[in-house]
């Protein structure tokens, strides 16, 4: 019995000198030049709260003494798809800007949730769903919302919600242009994560997709007034550029990825932007890119005005594990060896925390190169060493053995089957290269730290990271040749499905919840046009599937509608599935290999590894030690059985810290918002909500009252809410989910006024 499940195959306002930050009540308009700069971290006017992405608020009204009184005060629905995997609202002049239903941009009254305007983009294939970007000129007369939609950078008037036609070409800039590739061949480039503002520039990363010959992940800056590109940095160096010799000679022509799809941090005082980059394509097989592969998996310190590289630090050489960096590098000042030192702390998917001098990029504590396992794959040369931090302990587990299989998997036979499978797999510890046989990856490619999952209290030198322990079981195989058969559209569509979708969504279309949706009834749920759009253009972490013509898509949709009508001959079915059963050990030079992401879940939806599945870890970066670590959340059905402290299964998003010593976050798998004591990790408040918390909380103030807002996605099944929990019934405008949207909390009127 095969119990392994596979991932899907194809799968700000920076303060420039003299800039004005305005604080006012709802809909208040500041007089030009009359407002003084707000105190640091007192607003949440950009993604992550501040240019340095600290996810920190200096507000103190909600504190340890009264947080238990926190109650939901309003809700704004964002159903009908809306944001995917959560969002981080921004608040300026008493107005909140969010991603709304149907991937619209929306302005709300931040005190009441009342709609001010809605900007509908129409048909959307990709979008800055994790948040929006705000910019204003010095006197506040020009205010803009910027976002990426359908691979274009778009500008909207923040007051009216209307497109600013003078920006770019009738309001938008095509991001497919300027990458050195034919723009018509680029299906996906827009990132879900917002860019970062520096003066009159918006700094942009990208989401390139995961397939071979995806577009390059070049870093770019655009003028926020004109839309003109100000600079570009090639993450796969071109001839004559530093780092070019770490790749094959022509790699810059065909290698994709090496992109910042996560969060950008900015040291506004120094004018330095810090970009964390991801792996090159293809993620798990690198014979066409042998070398160290600069600037993949790097922290890049870039002059924000010019785009020139100041320094770099690579955390994974020649990445074969998809160990992207996507958490915004956190900027702190700590006491180190008797001196104040400005540092940067970067958490990775691999469970390591890298701490560097912010000015030089040199490690604060030793990071040493250690030998790692070799690759046996044809033509591929794994890098012989990888950097290991020596003083700072990892925050996530980095091994998975048969003795660590989840004891809460319901069926004893399934537990034993997983144990046997893990015991038989190639498993030489972290950085074991993937092979054509089963290979354990721990942390898995969706483990460790992900977007939004770190925050800091720089005043104390504290760094907090929300992480997940999620192993993967990977297996490389040649992509089988395309088969043409006769028969009904459903039969032809099944072949298309098995060759392109099976490794993600499973042969039975059941998917791999919670991250990979079931495709059973998908056409009826989202519509035929949406299915075509996602397959051709990709969506979120799913890349576009290339090589399918219109008839292939017609047949695929026919199969998704009526899978029972498909009748693929057994011999052809066996030939399609055969490489998965008995993969060849060798292949001719140039053969490409693929694998799913290999998420290891049981059939009852629990991880294959035992708990805790997610944890919140506090580091004291004055000393390089872990201060505390606690499970983050739980799983509802286990909690109903009295099994607690398991941690949330696959949290999506992150946390926010306040000056009053609180850490806020939401656990997806038990639908609960919590406040933790930053000094101990003790839970001080929790509240069930009617959806699954995702994204990163934002903390803001309107008219002297402090608020907490969290986005949440629709839960697959209804839940019964306990009475007396401070819940406000979710109201809908009649369109889409009544539970997916933004949950806003505050103290009762009058509470906390003395603080």
| CA–CA distance, 53 with 329 (Å, rounded to integer) | 8
Say what the pLDDT of residue 580 is.
42
| CA–CA distance, 113 with 732 (Å, rounded to integer) | 12
* pLDDT-derived band at 8, boundaries 50, 70, 90: very low
CB-based contact 684:64 (threshold 8 Å): yes
**Mean pLDDT lowest for which of 207-221, 506-520, 698-712?**
506-520
Per-residue pLDDT tens over the stretch 417-470: 999 999 999 999 999 999 999 999 999 999 999 999 999 999 999 999 999 999
Higher pLDDT, residue 599 or 63: 63
Single out the residue of 302, 79, 95 nearest to residue 196, CA to CA.
302
- Tell me the three-class secondary structure of 727-748, residue by residue: CCCCCCCCCCCCCCEEEEEECC
Please tell me whether the peptide bond between 618 and the residue prior to it is cis, using omega within 30 degrees of 0: no
| CA–CA distance, 674 with 688 (Å, rounded to integer) | 9
Report the pLDDT averaged over residues 155-168.
Answer: 98
**Mean pLDDT lowest for which of 377-381, 390-394, 672-676?**
377-381
Report the pLDDT averaged over residues 736-746.
Answer: 87
Q: In whole angstroms, how far apart are CA 590 and each of 283, 575, 720?
A: 16, 22, 55
598-614 residues labelled b (16+ CB within 10 A) or e (exposed): bbbbbeebbbbbbbbbb
Q: DSSP string covering 597-623, please?
A: --B-B-TTS-BSBPSP-EEEEEEETTT
φ, ψ (nearest 5 deg) of residue 402: -60, -30
Say what the pLDDT of residue 495 is.
86
Residues 6 or more apart whose Cβ sits within 8 Å of residue 194: 12, 46, 47, 128, 130, 131, 132, 133, 147
The dihedral built from the CA positions of residue 399, 404, 608 and 667, taken in this order, carries a sign that is negative
* pLDDT-derived band at 513, boundaries 50, 70, 90: low
CB-based contact 10:666 (threshold 8 Å): no
Percent of the chain having pLDDT more than 90? 68
Higher pLDDT, residue 478 or 395: 395
Residues 6 or more apart whose Cβ sits within 8 Å of residue 499: 479, 480, 482, 483, 576
Strands (E), 488-601: 593-594
Higher pLDDT, residue 653 or 118: 118
Q: In whole angstroms, how far apart are CA 276 and each of 87, 159, 491, 593?
A: 20, 33, 44, 27
| CA–CA distance, 130 with 451 (Å, rounded to integer) | 10
Please tell me whether the peptide bond between 295 and the residue prior to it is cis, using omega within 30 degrees of 0: yes
| Tokens of residue 525, six digits | 């749920």
Say what the pLDDT of residue 499 is.
79
Report the pLDDT averaged over residues 648-656.
Answer: 89
Report the pLDDT averaged over residues 180-186.
Answer: 91
Is 577's pLDDT higher than 70? no
Cα distance between the two ends of the chain: 60
* pLDDT-derived band at 213, boundaries 50, 70, 90: confident
Report the pLDDT averaged over residues 60-85.
Answer: 89
Per-residue pLDDT tens over the stretch 77-89: 998 766 666 899 9
Percent of the chain having pLDDT more than 70? 86
Residues 6 or more apart whose Cβ sits within 8 Å of residue 171: 154, 155, 156, 163, 164, 165
| CA–CA distance, 604 with 627 (Å, rounded to integer) | 35
| Tokens of residue 746, six digits | 């505050």
φ, ψ (nearest 5 deg) of residue 23: -125, 130
| CA–CA distance, 377 with 398 (Å, rounded to integer) | 23
Q: In 10 A of CB 536, how many CB atoms? A: 16
Is 584's pLDDT higher than 60? no
**Mean pLDDT lowest for which of 48-52, 207-211, 301-305?**
207-211
φ, ψ (nearest 5 deg) of residue 651: -65, 145
Is 9's pLDDT higher than 80? no
pTM, to two decimals: 0.87
Q: Quick one: 490 exposed, middle or buried, by C-beta within 10 A (0-12, 13-18, 19+)? A: buried
- Phi and psi based region of residue 326 (left: phi greater than 0; alpha: psi -120 to 50; beta: remaining): alpha
Q: For residue 554, how far is the Cα from the chain centroid? A: 32
Please tell me whether the peptide bond between 81 and the residue prior to it is cis, using omega within 30 degrees of 0: no
Is 699's pLDDT higher than 50? yes
Per-residue pLDDT tens over the stretch 667-679: 988 999 999 999 9
CB-based contact 233:302 (threshold 8 Å): yes
Single out the residue of 40, 34, 4, 9 nearest to residue 22, CA to CA.
34
Is 718's pLDDT higher than 50? no
Higher pLDDT, residue 13 or 415: 415
Q: In 10 A of CB 320, how many CB atoms? A: 25
CB-based contact 673:745 (threshold 8 Å): yes
CATH of domain 477-582: 1.10.760.10
Q: In whole angstroms, how far apart are CA 345 and each of 44, 52, 258, 359, 622?
A: 21, 12, 20, 13, 12
Is 6's pLDDT higher than 50? no
* pLDDT-derived band at 753, boundaries 50, 70, 90: low
Report the pLDDT averaged over residues 471-495.
Answer: 83
Task: Please state whether beta strands 683-688 and 672-677 pair in parallel, antiparallel, or not at all (unpaired).
Answer: antiparallel
* pLDDT-derived band at 578, boundaries 50, 70, 90: low
| CA–CA distance, 82 with 740 (Å, rounded to integer) | 9
Of the CA atoms within 13 Å of residue 222, those in its CB half-sphere come to: 25
Q: For residue 487, how far is the Cα from the chain centroid? A: 41
| CA–CA distance, 645 with 661 (Å, rounded to integer) | 22
* pLDDT-derived band at 36, boundaries 50, 70, 90: very low
Q: In 10 A of CB 751, how many CB atoms? A: 16
Per-residue pLDDT tens over the stretch 337-362: 999 999 999 999 999 999 999 999 99
* pLDDT-derived band at 728, boundaries 50, 70, 90: very low
Is 587's pLDDT higher than 50? no
What angle is formed at CA 279 by the lines to CA 620 and CA 98, rounded to 5 degrees?
70
Is 29's pLDDT higher than 50? no
Higher pLDDT, residue 217 or 595: 217
| CA–CA distance, 54 with 463 (Å, rounded to integer) | 10
Task: List strands edge to edge, sheet with 133-136.
Answer: 133-136, 143-149, 152-157, 172-174
Say what the pLDDT of residue 12 is.
36
Say what the pLDDT of residue 22 is.
32
Reported as type and span, the H/E element at residue 4 is none
Single out the residue of 230, 170, 174, 172 nearest to residue 200, CA to CA.
230
Of the CA atoms within 13 Å of residue 660, those in its CB half-sphere come to: 19
- Per domain, the residue ranges of the chain are 477-582
**Mean pLDDT lowest for which of 85-94, 124-133, 136-145, 718-727?**
718-727
């Amino acid at each position: 019995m095969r119990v392994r499940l596979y991932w899907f195959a194809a799968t700000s306002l920076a303060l420039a000198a003299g800039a004005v930050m305005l604080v006012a009540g709802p809909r208040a308009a500041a007089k030009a030049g009359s407002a003084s700069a707000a105190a640091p971290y007192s607003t949440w006017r950009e993604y992550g709260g501040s240019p340095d992405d600290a996810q920190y608020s200096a507000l103190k009204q909600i504190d340890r003494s009264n947080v238990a009184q926190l109650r939901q005060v309003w809700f704004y629905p964002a159903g009908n798809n809306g944001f995917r995997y959560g969002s981080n609202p921004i608040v300026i002049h008493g107005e909140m800007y969010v991603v709304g239903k149907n991937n619209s941009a929306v302005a709300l009254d931040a005190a009441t949730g009342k709609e001010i305007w809605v900007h509908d983009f129409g048909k959307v294939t990709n979008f800055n769903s994790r948040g929006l970007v705000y910019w204003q000129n010095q006197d506040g007369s020009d205010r803009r919302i910027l976002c990426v939609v359908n691979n274009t950078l778009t500008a909207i008037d923040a007051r009216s919600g209307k497109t600013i036609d003078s920006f770019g070409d009738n309001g938008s800039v095509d991001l497919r242009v300027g990458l050195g590739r034919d723009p018509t061949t680029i299906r996906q480039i827009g990132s879900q994560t917002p860019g970062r503002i520096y003066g009159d520039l918006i700094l942009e990363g990208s989401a390139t997709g995961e397939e071979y010959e995806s577009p390059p992940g070049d870093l770019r800056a655009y003028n926020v007034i004109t839309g003109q590109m100000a600079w570009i940095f090639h993450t796969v160096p071109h001839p004559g550029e530093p780092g070019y010799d770490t790749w094959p000679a022509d790699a810059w022509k065909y290698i994709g990825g090496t992109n910042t799809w996560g969060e950008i941090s900015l040291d506004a005082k120094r004018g330095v932007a810090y970009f964390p980059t991801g792996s090159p394509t293809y993620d798990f097989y690198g014979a066409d890119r042998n070398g160290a592969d600069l600037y993949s998996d790097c922290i890049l310190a870039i002059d924000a005005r010019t785009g020139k590289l100041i320094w770099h630090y690579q955390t994974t050489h020649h990445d074969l594990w998809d160990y992207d960096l996507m958490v915004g590098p956190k900027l702190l000042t700590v006491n180190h060896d008797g001196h104040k030192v400005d540092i940067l702390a970067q958490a990775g998917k691999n469970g390591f925390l890298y701490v560097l001098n912010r000015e030089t990029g040199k490690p604060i504590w030793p990071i040493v190169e250690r030998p790692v396992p070799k690759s046996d794959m044809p033509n591929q040369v794994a890098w012989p060493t990888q950097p290991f931090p020596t003083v700072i302990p990892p925050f996530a587990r980095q091994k998975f053995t048969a003795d660590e299989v989840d004891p809460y998997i319901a069926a004893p036979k399934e537990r034993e089957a997983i144990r046997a499978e893990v015991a038989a797999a190639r498993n030489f510890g972290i950085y074991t290269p993937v092979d054509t046989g089963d290979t354990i990856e721990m942390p898995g490619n969706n483990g460790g730290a992900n977007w939004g999952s770190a925050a800091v209290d720089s005043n104390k030198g504290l760094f907090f990271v929300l992480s997940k322990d999620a192993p993967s079981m990977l297996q490389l195989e040649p992509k089988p040749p395309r088969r043409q058969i006769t028969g009904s559209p459903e039969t032809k569509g099944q072949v298309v499905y098995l060759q392109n979708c099976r490794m993600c969504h499973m042969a039975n279309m059941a998917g791999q919840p919670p991250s990979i949706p079931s495709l059973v009834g998908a056409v009826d749920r989202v519509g035929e046009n949406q299915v075509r759009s996602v397959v051709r253009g990709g969506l979120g972490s799913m890349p576009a599937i290339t090589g399918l013509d219109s008839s292939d898509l017609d047949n695929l949709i026919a199969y998704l509608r009526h899978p029972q009508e498909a009748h693929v001959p057994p011999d052809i079915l066996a030939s399609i599935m055969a490489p998965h059963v008995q993969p060849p050990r060798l292949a001719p030079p140039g053969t490409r290999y693929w694998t799913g992401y290999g998420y290891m879940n049981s059939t009852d939806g629990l991880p294959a590894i035992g708990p805790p599945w997610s944890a919140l870890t506090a580091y004291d970066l004055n000393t390089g030690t872990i201060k505390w670590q606690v499970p983050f959340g739980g799983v509802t059905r286990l909690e109903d059985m009295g099994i607690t402290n398991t941690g949330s299964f696959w949290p999506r998003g992150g946390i926010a810290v306040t000056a009053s010593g609180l850490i806020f976050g939401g656990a997806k798998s038990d639908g609960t918002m919590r406040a933790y004591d930053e000094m101990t990790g003790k839970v001080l408040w929790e509240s069930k909500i009617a959806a699954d918390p995702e994204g990163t909380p934002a903390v803001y103030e309107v008219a002297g009252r402090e608020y907490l807002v969290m986005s949440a996605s629709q839960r697959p099944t209804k839940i019964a809410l306990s009475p007396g929990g401070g819940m406000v019934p979710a109201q809908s405008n009649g369109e889409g989910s009544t539970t997916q949207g933004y949950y806003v909390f505050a103290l009762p009127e009058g509470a906390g006024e003395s603080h």
